[in-house]
Amino acid sequence: MQHTLGAICFAERTDQTCPAADNPFLHVAMPILDGEPVCELWLGDGINATVKQGGVRYRRSENLLFGVIELNEADTDPIPLQQATESAYRQIFALLDELELPFVYRFWNYMADINVVSHGLERYRQFNLGRQDAFLACARDVVGELPSACALGTAEGPLQIAFLAGSTASLAIENPRQVNAYAYPEDYGPRSPTFSRASLLRLPESEVLFISGTASIVGHRTLHSDDVSGQTRETLANIEAVILEANRVMHHRWFDPSQLFYRVYVRHAADIEIIRNELRRLTGNHANAVFLQADICRDDLLLEIETTAFSCDRKNTDRQ
C-alpha cells in the first residue's frame, strides 16, 4: 500500500488546503485561476515518519525522499535572497549526503517578487547566485546531469523549496531547440540557472519524466513578447521537443504526449482563456491542467508550463 511522501498545495489562504499535519508539504500562496485549491501528492511504499533536520522537513521510503524547506530572508544579509537560497540548498545537500541519497530529481522553488530589482540585482538573479554557490560549495555538478526545476514568483512570503531525491541516478534530458540553461550567456545574470530541461527517472514499474518550467525561449532568447498566443504555442513546442528527446532513449515504454499533467503559471489572469484555448487546440482538447497566477522568471514571459509524465507500454498505445 502506498502512503504520502509529501505534498505541494496551491491556494491563496492556508485554511483552503489541509494535508495531514505530519506530512512535509508546502503551501504556496498562488491564486487558482480555474477551480478549487489543489494539492499535488507524492506517494511511496514503506514510508517512514516525518523528520525535521535543521530547516528541512522530509519523509522517505526505501529509495525516495520528499522534502521541503521555507526560509525568511534576513534583513541583515548583504543580499538576503541570495543568502537564504544558498543556506536552503546547503541544508538540503547536507541532509542528502548524510542519508546517502545523492541524486535530486526535481526542485520546486517559489519566492516573492521574483522580477523586482533590489540590492542592485534582480531577485531571480540573486536566487541563481545563491543556488549555484551552494551547488559548488557542496561539490555538486553545475553542468551536465542536473535536476529539473522551476522558479516562480509569489506576491509575498518566504523562500519555499520542495525537492524529490533518491538513491538511483536520473538522466538529464535537454531540448535541442534551446541552449542548456546552465550555458546561458552573462546577459542573464552573474550565474547561470542550475537545472536541466527535464529529468528521466527509471523506476522498476515505470519511468517518470519531470519536465522543468518551460517557456517561450528558443536558443536563449524570449520569443513572442506581448503575444500570449505565440508564447503558448512556443512553450508547447519546447515541451514536445523534450518529450521527443526522452522517447529517443526509451526502449519498451514511452511517454505519451496526450497523458501529461500540466501546471500552467500565468502572469496576467486575463490571459487564461487564450492560454487554455491554445492548450486545448494543440493537445487535442484533453489537457489535464491546473492554472495558477504567478510571476515568471523573466519579466517578458507571460506564462510558464511544467509537466510530469509516466511511461506506458509502446505496444498498448496507438502512436499514429
C-alpha distances out from residue 58 to 1, 14, 17, 121, 227, Å: 20, 20, 19, 32, 41
Percent of residues, the chain, with pLDDT higher than 90? 81
Asked about 100 being catalytic, the answer comes back as no
Radius of gyration (Cα) for the chain, nearest Å? 19
Which DSSP letter does residue 32 get?
A: B
Contact 115, 126 (CB under 8 A): no
pLDDT at 315: 62
Could you tell me whether strands 25-28 and 51-53 are parallel, antiparallel, or unpaired per DSSP bridges?
unpaired
Looking at residue 320, its pLDDT comes to 37
**Which residue among 174, 245, 304, 306 is the active-site one?**
304
Least confident piece of the model among 6-20, 159-173, 174-188, 286-300: 6-20
Contact 232, 300 (CB under 8 A): no
**Secondary structure (3-state) at 234:** helix
CA-based angle 144:124:65, to the nearest 5? 55
pLDDT at 67: 98
pLDDT band at 319 (very low <50, low <70, confident <90, very high): very low
In the chain, where the domains are located: 2-316
Given a cut of 90, whether residue 78 has pLDDT beyond it is no
Give the closest residue to 54 by CA, choosing from 38, 41, 70. 70
pLDDT of 3-39, one tens digit each? 899 999 998 876 666 666 678 999 999 999 988 889 9
- How far is it, in rounded angstroms, from Cα 300 to Cα 225? 6
Across the range 237-243, mean pLDDT stands at 98
Mean of per-residue pLDDT scores for the chain: 93
* Confidence at residue 20, expressed as pLDDT on a 0 to 100 scale: 62
CA atoms 150, 155, 160, 166: torsion sign = negative
> What mean pLDDT do residues 101-112 have?
98
Q: Which three cell numbers stand for residue 129?
A: 547566485
Q: How far apart are the first and last CA of the chain?
A: 36
Is pLDDT above 90 for 252? no
pLDDT greater than 50 at residue 148: yes
What is the CATH T-level fold of the domain 2-316, as seen in this structure?
60s Ribosomal Protein L30; Chain: A; (3.30.1330)
Torsion of CA 257, 143, 232, 304, to 10 degrees: 100
Q: What is the dihedral of CA 251, 60, 107, 280, to 10 degrees?
A: 60
pLDDT digits (tens, 9 = 90+) for 265-317: 999 999 999 999 999 998 877 788 999 999 999 999 999 999 999 999 876 55
